[in-house]
Amino acid sequence: MHRRQFLAATAGATAVGLAGCRSLFETRSSRSPPLVDDRPDAVYVPTHVEGMQMVGTTTAGDYGVALTYSYPHRFWQIDVDETNKVSIQGDDALHLMTTLWDRETRTVIPNDGMRVTVTQDGDPVASGRLWAMLSQNMGVHAGDNFGLDGDGTYDVEVSVDPVADRTTGAFVDRFTDLVTANFTLEFSQSTLETTSFERLSDREGDRGAVEAMGMEMVPTAATPASEELPGTVLAEPSSGDARFPTTVLESPPAGVESDGPYLAVSARTPYNGYPLPLMSLSATVTRDGSTVFDDSLSGTIDPELGYHYGAAMDVQSGDRLTLAVGSPPQISRHEGYETAFLEFEEMRINV
Protein backbone atom coordinates (compact mmCIF):
# COMPACT_ATOMS: atom_id res chain seq x y z
CA MET A 1 0.00 0.00 0.00
CA HIS A 2 1.61 3.25 -1.10
CA ARG A 3 1.24 6.51 0.73
CA ARG A 4 -1.97 8.32 -0.09
CA GLN A 5 -1.78 11.45 -2.18
CA PHE A 6 -2.06 14.70 -0.26
CA LEU A 7 -5.60 16.04 -0.21
CA ALA A 8 -6.62 19.43 1.14
CA ALA A 9 -10.14 18.63 2.22
CA THR A 10 -12.64 20.88 3.93
CA ALA A 11 -15.26 18.41 5.10
CA GLY A 12 -14.93 17.15 8.68
CA ALA A 13 -14.75 13.48 9.53
CA THR A 14 -18.07 11.99 10.68
CA ALA A 15 -18.23 11.26 14.35
CA VAL A 16 -19.34 7.74 15.16
CA GLY A 17 -19.67 6.30 18.67
CA LEU A 18 -17.38 3.49 19.77
CA ALA A 19 -20.11 1.43 21.43
CA GLY A 20 -20.90 -1.60 19.29
CA CYS A 21 -18.58 -0.46 16.48
CA ARG A 22 -15.90 -2.77 15.23
CA SER A 23 -14.92 -1.47 11.81
CA LEU A 24 -11.61 0.35 11.53
CA PHE A 25 -13.33 3.23 9.76
CA GLU A 26 -15.78 3.73 12.59
CA THR A 27 -13.01 3.52 15.17
CA ARG A 28 -11.00 6.18 13.37
CA SER A 29 -14.02 8.40 12.84
CA SER A 30 -14.88 8.31 16.53
CA ARG A 31 -11.44 9.77 17.18
CA SER A 32 -12.20 12.84 15.06
CA PRO A 33 -15.10 14.40 16.99
CA PRO A 34 -16.94 17.21 15.22
CA LEU A 35 -15.12 20.50 15.42
CA VAL A 36 -16.50 23.09 17.81
CA ASP A 37 -18.87 25.60 16.24
CA ASP A 38 -17.76 29.23 16.33
CA ARG A 39 -14.14 28.49 17.19
CA PRO A 40 -12.33 31.65 18.32
CA ASP A 41 -9.74 33.29 16.09
CA ALA A 42 -7.23 32.33 18.75
CA VAL A 43 -5.69 29.36 20.50
CA TYR A 44 -8.41 27.17 21.98
CA VAL A 45 -8.79 23.87 23.83
CA PRO A 46 -9.32 21.10 21.20
CA THR A 47 -12.04 18.47 21.26
CA HIS A 48 -9.62 15.80 22.41
CA VAL A 49 -6.01 15.02 23.20
CA GLU A 50 -4.05 11.94 22.12
CA GLY A 51 -1.00 10.20 23.48
CA MET A 52 1.68 8.63 21.33
CA GLN A 53 3.79 5.50 21.01
CA MET A 54 7.59 5.72 21.04
CA VAL A 55 9.43 3.93 18.23
CA GLY A 56 12.83 5.03 19.43
CA THR A 57 15.53 7.69 19.52
CA THR A 58 18.86 7.83 17.74
CA THR A 59 21.57 10.25 16.67
CA ALA A 60 22.36 11.60 13.22
CA GLY A 61 25.14 14.13 12.79
CA ASP A 62 24.60 16.98 15.23
CA TYR A 63 21.06 15.83 15.99
CA GLY A 64 19.12 13.69 18.34
CA VAL A 65 16.10 12.28 16.50
CA ALA A 66 12.96 10.66 17.88
CA LEU A 67 10.33 8.73 15.95
CA THR A 68 6.84 8.39 17.44
CA TYR A 69 3.34 7.67 16.17
CA SER A 70 -0.27 8.10 17.14
CA TYR A 71 -3.72 7.70 15.63
CA PRO A 72 -4.24 9.19 12.17
CA HIS A 73 -5.73 12.61 12.65
CA ARG A 74 -6.79 15.77 10.88
CA PHE A 75 -4.50 18.75 10.69
CA TRP A 76 -4.29 22.02 8.82
CA GLN A 77 -1.65 23.20 6.37
CA ILE A 78 -0.98 26.89 5.79
CA ASP A 79 -0.75 28.32 2.28
CA VAL A 80 0.37 31.93 2.75
CA ASP A 81 -2.66 33.09 4.77
CA GLU A 82 -5.14 30.33 3.94
CA THR A 83 -5.71 27.12 5.93
CA ASN A 84 -6.21 23.79 4.16
CA LYS A 85 -7.63 20.98 6.22
CA VAL A 86 -6.09 17.53 5.73
CA SER A 87 -8.65 14.88 6.66
CA ILE A 88 -8.03 11.24 7.56
CA GLN A 89 -8.02 9.02 4.48
CA GLY A 90 -9.27 5.44 4.33
CA ASP A 91 -5.82 3.86 4.08
CA ASP A 92 -4.17 5.95 6.81
CA ALA A 93 -2.80 3.63 9.48
CA LEU A 94 -1.00 6.08 11.77
CA HIS A 95 0.26 9.62 12.23
CA LEU A 96 4.05 9.38 12.08
CA MET A 97 6.06 12.07 13.87
CA THR A 98 9.68 13.06 14.33
CA THR A 99 11.31 15.47 16.75
CA LEU A 100 14.75 16.92 16.03
CA TRP A 101 17.08 18.48 18.59
CA ASP A 102 20.67 19.59 19.10
CA ARG A 103 22.58 16.84 20.90
CA GLU A 104 24.61 19.24 23.04
CA THR A 105 21.97 21.69 24.29
CA ARG A 106 18.78 19.63 23.68
CA THR A 107 17.34 22.61 21.82
CA VAL A 108 14.54 21.47 19.50
CA ILE A 109 15.37 22.46 15.91
CA PRO A 110 12.44 23.35 13.63
CA ASN A 111 13.12 21.96 10.16
CA ASP A 112 10.74 22.08 7.19
CA GLY A 113 12.98 19.82 5.09
CA MET A 114 12.36 16.32 6.41
CA ARG A 115 11.24 13.22 4.50
CA VAL A 116 10.47 9.65 5.42
CA THR A 117 10.75 6.34 3.57
CA VAL A 118 9.04 3.22 4.93
CA THR A 119 9.98 -0.23 3.62
CA GLN A 120 9.20 -3.81 4.57
CA ASP A 121 11.59 -6.60 3.61
CA GLY A 122 13.21 -4.16 1.20
CA ASP A 123 9.97 -3.31 -0.58
CA PRO A 124 8.64 0.27 -0.57
CA VAL A 125 5.52 0.82 1.52
CA ALA A 126 5.23 4.58 2.03
CA SER A 127 7.25 7.73 1.49
CA GLY A 128 6.80 11.45 1.53
CA ARG A 129 7.52 14.76 3.14
CA LEU A 130 7.04 15.30 6.85
CA TRP A 131 5.33 18.63 7.41
CA ALA A 132 6.66 20.95 10.08
CA MET A 133 3.85 20.96 12.64
CA LEU A 134 2.65 22.56 15.84
CA SER A 135 0.66 20.62 18.44
CA GLN A 136 -0.48 21.73 21.88
CA ASN A 137 0.69 18.60 23.68
CA MET A 138 3.50 17.52 21.32
CA GLY A 139 4.97 20.94 20.53
CA VAL A 140 7.04 21.57 17.39
CA HIS A 141 7.64 18.41 15.36
CA ALA A 142 7.31 17.08 11.81
CA GLY A 143 4.70 14.55 10.74
CA ASP A 144 1.97 13.27 8.46
CA ASN A 145 -0.55 10.44 8.16
CA PHE A 146 0.70 7.31 6.39
CA GLY A 147 -0.68 3.99 5.23
CA LEU A 148 1.00 0.67 6.07
CA ASP A 149 0.53 -2.95 4.98
CA GLY A 150 -1.00 -4.06 8.28
CA ASP A 151 0.71 -5.42 11.37
CA GLY A 152 4.41 -6.16 10.97
CA THR A 153 7.98 -4.90 11.12
CA TYR A 154 8.93 -1.87 9.04
CA ASP A 155 12.18 -0.05 8.38
CA VAL A 156 11.84 3.74 8.56
CA GLU A 157 14.46 6.12 7.19
CA VAL A 158 14.16 9.79 8.08
CA SER A 159 16.20 12.23 6.00
CA VAL A 160 16.95 15.69 7.34
CA ASP A 161 17.89 18.59 5.06
CA PRO A 162 20.33 21.27 6.21
CA VAL A 163 18.60 23.88 8.36
CA ALA A 164 17.44 26.79 6.20
CA ASP A 165 17.32 29.33 9.04
CA ARG A 166 20.34 31.32 10.14
CA THR A 167 22.32 29.83 13.01
CA THR A 168 24.12 31.99 15.57
CA GLY A 169 26.12 31.70 18.76
CA ALA A 170 27.31 28.15 19.45
CA PHE A 171 25.15 26.95 16.53
CA VAL A 172 27.23 28.75 13.88
CA ASP A 173 28.32 26.39 11.07
CA ARG A 174 26.20 23.55 12.45
CA PHE A 175 23.18 21.71 11.03
CA THR A 176 24.57 22.20 7.50
CA ASP A 177 24.70 18.55 6.37
CA LEU A 178 22.06 16.26 4.92
CA VAL A 179 21.75 13.39 7.42
CA THR A 180 19.60 10.30 7.80
CA ALA A 181 18.25 8.48 10.83
CA ASN A 182 17.05 4.87 10.75
CA PHE A 183 14.43 3.15 12.90
CA THR A 184 12.66 -0.19 13.16
CA LEU A 185 8.91 0.14 13.62
CA GLU A 186 7.08 -2.82 15.14
CA PHE A 187 3.50 -1.90 14.28
CA SER A 188 0.29 -3.55 15.40
CA GLN A 189 -3.20 -2.15 15.41
CA SER A 190 -3.76 -3.54 18.90
CA THR A 191 -0.81 -1.53 20.25
CA LEU A 192 -2.05 1.61 18.53
CA GLU A 193 -5.45 1.10 20.15
CA THR A 194 -3.84 1.24 23.60
CA THR A 195 -2.67 4.81 22.95
CA SER A 196 -4.41 7.24 25.29
CA PHE A 197 -7.31 9.25 23.90
CA GLU A 198 -9.22 11.76 26.03
CA ARG A 199 -12.27 13.80 25.09
CA LEU A 200 -12.31 17.34 26.46
CA SER A 201 -16.02 17.96 26.13
CA ASP A 202 -16.23 20.22 29.19
CA ARG A 203 -13.51 22.58 27.88
CA GLU A 204 -13.48 22.21 24.10
CA GLY A 205 -13.55 25.53 22.28
CA ASP A 206 -12.53 27.57 25.35
CA ARG A 207 -9.63 29.99 25.06
CA GLY A 208 -6.60 28.13 26.38
CA ALA A 209 -4.46 25.09 25.63
CA VAL A 210 -3.63 21.65 26.96
CA GLU A 211 -0.28 21.19 28.65
CA ALA A 212 2.84 19.97 26.88
CA MET A 213 3.54 16.26 27.03
CA GLY A 214 6.62 15.67 29.19
CA MET A 215 9.04 12.97 28.03
CA GLU A 216 12.50 12.34 29.45
CA MET A 217 13.79 10.91 26.18
CA VAL A 218 12.56 13.74 23.96
CA PRO A 219 12.87 17.48 24.69
CA THR A 220 9.95 19.80 24.06
CA ALA A 221 10.37 22.92 21.96
CA ALA A 222 10.37 25.98 24.20
CA THR A 223 11.38 29.61 24.17
CA PRO A 224 13.20 31.34 27.03
CA ALA A 225 10.97 33.11 29.53
CA SER A 226 10.81 36.82 28.68
CA GLU A 227 12.76 37.78 31.79
CA GLU A 228 15.48 35.27 30.87
CA LEU A 229 16.12 36.60 27.37
CA PRO A 230 19.61 38.07 26.91
CA GLY A 231 19.86 41.82 26.47
CA THR A 232 17.33 44.47 27.44
CA VAL A 233 13.72 43.41 26.97
CA LEU A 234 11.80 46.36 25.51
CA ALA A 235 8.27 44.99 25.59
CA GLU A 236 6.15 41.90 25.01
CA PRO A 237 3.47 42.94 22.51
CA SER A 238 0.78 40.56 21.29
CA SER A 239 -0.89 40.23 17.90
CA GLY A 240 -2.79 37.43 16.18
CA ASP A 241 -2.92 35.71 19.60
CA ALA A 242 0.87 35.30 19.44
CA ARG A 243 3.34 36.92 21.84
CA PHE A 244 6.40 38.84 20.64
CA PRO A 245 8.89 39.50 23.47
CA THR A 246 11.44 41.89 21.98
CA THR A 247 14.97 42.40 23.29
CA VAL A 248 18.01 44.43 22.25
CA LEU A 249 21.55 43.12 22.70
CA GLU A 250 24.52 45.48 22.76
CA SER A 251 26.18 43.47 20.00
CA PRO A 252 25.04 40.70 17.64
CA PRO A 253 25.66 37.05 18.45
CA ALA A 254 28.39 35.20 16.56
CA GLY A 255 27.31 34.51 13.01
CA VAL A 256 25.85 37.98 12.37
CA GLU A 257 28.44 39.98 10.44
CA SER A 258 27.63 43.46 11.69
CA ASP A 259 28.42 45.92 14.46
CA GLY A 260 26.10 47.73 16.81
CA PRO A 261 22.94 46.61 18.60
CA TYR A 262 21.01 43.47 17.69
CA LEU A 263 17.21 43.28 17.84
CA ALA A 264 15.70 39.85 18.59
CA VAL A 265 11.97 39.08 18.51
CA SER A 266 10.97 35.79 20.14
CA ALA A 267 7.61 35.02 18.48
CA ARG A 268 5.79 32.35 20.47
CA THR A 269 2.45 30.76 21.28
CA PRO A 270 0.54 31.81 24.38
CA TYR A 271 0.23 29.33 27.26
CA ASN A 272 2.96 26.83 26.23
CA GLY A 273 5.44 29.30 24.75
CA TYR A 274 6.31 27.24 21.66
CA PRO A 275 8.33 29.06 18.98
CA LEU A 276 6.52 30.17 15.83
CA PRO A 277 8.88 29.52 12.90
CA LEU A 278 8.48 30.10 9.16
CA MET A 279 7.03 33.59 9.56
CA SER A 280 7.78 36.76 7.61
CA LEU A 281 8.46 39.54 10.14
CA SER A 282 9.88 43.02 9.55
CA ALA A 283 10.90 45.96 11.71
CA THR A 284 10.88 49.69 11.15
CA VAL A 285 12.75 52.11 13.41
CA THR A 286 11.98 55.82 13.29
CA ARG A 287 13.91 58.59 15.07
CA ASP A 288 12.88 62.26 15.15
CA GLY A 289 10.49 61.62 12.27
CA SER A 290 13.06 59.88 10.06
CA THR A 291 13.31 56.18 9.24
CA VAL A 292 16.67 54.72 10.28
CA PHE A 293 15.86 51.03 9.68
CA ASP A 294 13.22 49.30 7.57
CA ASP A 295 13.90 45.68 6.68
CA SER A 296 12.95 42.08 7.33
CA LEU A 297 14.17 40.12 10.34
CA SER A 298 15.88 36.77 9.73
CA GLY A 299 14.56 33.55 11.22
CA THR A 300 17.40 32.47 13.48
CA ILE A 301 18.25 29.56 15.79
CA ASP A 302 20.44 30.46 18.76
CA PRO A 303 21.11 28.37 21.91
CA GLU A 304 20.49 31.35 24.24
CA LEU A 305 17.83 33.31 22.37
CA GLY A 306 16.07 30.22 21.05
CA TYR A 307 14.26 30.41 17.73
CA HIS A 308 13.76 34.10 17.00
CA TYR A 309 13.69 36.77 14.30
CA GLY A 310 16.60 39.19 14.40
CA ALA A 311 18.76 41.79 12.72
CA ALA A 312 21.60 44.15 13.60
CA MET A 313 20.34 47.72 13.52
CA ASP A 314 20.91 51.19 14.89
CA VAL A 315 18.29 51.39 17.64
CA GLN A 316 18.49 53.92 20.46
CA SER A 317 16.52 55.08 23.46
CA GLY A 318 13.65 57.30 22.32
CA ASP A 319 13.18 55.51 18.97
CA ARG A 320 9.83 54.19 17.78
CA LEU A 321 9.93 50.51 16.75
CA THR A 322 7.19 48.97 14.61
CA LEU A 323 6.91 45.22 14.03
CA ALA A 324 4.83 43.93 11.11
CA VAL A 325 4.01 40.37 10.05
CA GLY A 326 4.16 39.93 6.29
CA SER A 327 2.97 36.33 6.24
CA PRO A 328 1.86 34.12 9.14
CA PRO A 329 3.89 31.12 10.34
CA GLN A 330 3.85 28.58 7.51
CA ILE A 331 3.79 25.69 9.96
CA SER A 332 1.01 23.10 9.88
CA ARG A 333 -1.24 23.01 12.92
CA HIS A 334 -3.02 20.40 14.96
CA GLU A 335 -6.49 21.21 16.25
CA GLY A 336 -6.55 24.18 18.62
CA TYR A 337 -3.99 26.21 16.64
CA GLU A 338 -5.57 26.30 13.18
CA THR A 339 -7.56 29.49 13.84
CA ALA A 340 -4.73 31.44 15.50
CA PHE A 341 -1.62 33.21 14.17
CA LEU A 342 -3.23 34.12 10.85
CA GLU A 343 -4.11 37.83 10.97
CA PHE A 344 -1.85 40.36 12.67
CA GLU A 345 -1.94 44.04 13.53
CA GLU A 346 1.21 46.12 13.57
CA MET A 347 2.94 46.30 16.96
CA ARG A 348 4.50 49.57 18.12
CA ILE A 349 7.12 49.84 20.84
CA ASN A 350 8.68 52.94 22.36
CA VAL A 351 12.35 52.16 22.90
Examine residue 191 and state whether it is found in any structural domain, yes or no: yes
- pTM value is 0.89
The CATH number for 231's domain is: 2.60.40.2480
Examine residue 236 and state whether it is found in any structural domain, yes or no: yes
Q: What mean pLDDT is reported for the chain?
A: 91
Please name which of 137, 276, 148 lies closest in space to residue 208, comparing C-alpha atoms: 137
Count of structural domains within the chain:
2
Do 276 and 345 belong together in one domain? Answer: yes
**Residue 5 pLDDT more than 60?**
no
Do 94 and 158 belong together in one domain? Answer: yes
Do 83 and 186 belong together in one domain? Answer: yes
Examine residue 169 and state whether it is found in any structural domain, yes or no: yes
Do 185 and 251 belong together in one domain? Answer: no
Do 142 and 260 belong together in one domain? Answer: no
- 197-223, pLDDT tens digit by residue? 999 999 999 999 999 988 889 999 999
Do 252 and 327 belong together in one domain? Answer: yes
Do 341 and 254 belong together in one domain? Answer: yes
Distances (CA, A) of 80 to 110, 298, 303, 309, 342: 18, 18, 28, 18, 9
pLDDT of residue 259: 87
Supply the range of the domain harboring residue 42.
Answer: 24-199
Examine residue 14 and state whether it is found in any structural domain, yes or no: no
Do 188 and 287 belong together in one domain? Answer: no
Examine residue 111 and state whether it is found in any structural domain, yes or no: yes
Q: Mean of the pLDDT values across residues 141-149?
A: 97
Q: How confident is the model at residue 30 (pLDDT cuts 50, 70, 90)?
A: low
Do 262 and 331 belong together in one domain? Answer: yes
- 219-254, pLDDT tens digit by residue? 999 999 999 999 999 999 999 999 999 999 999 999
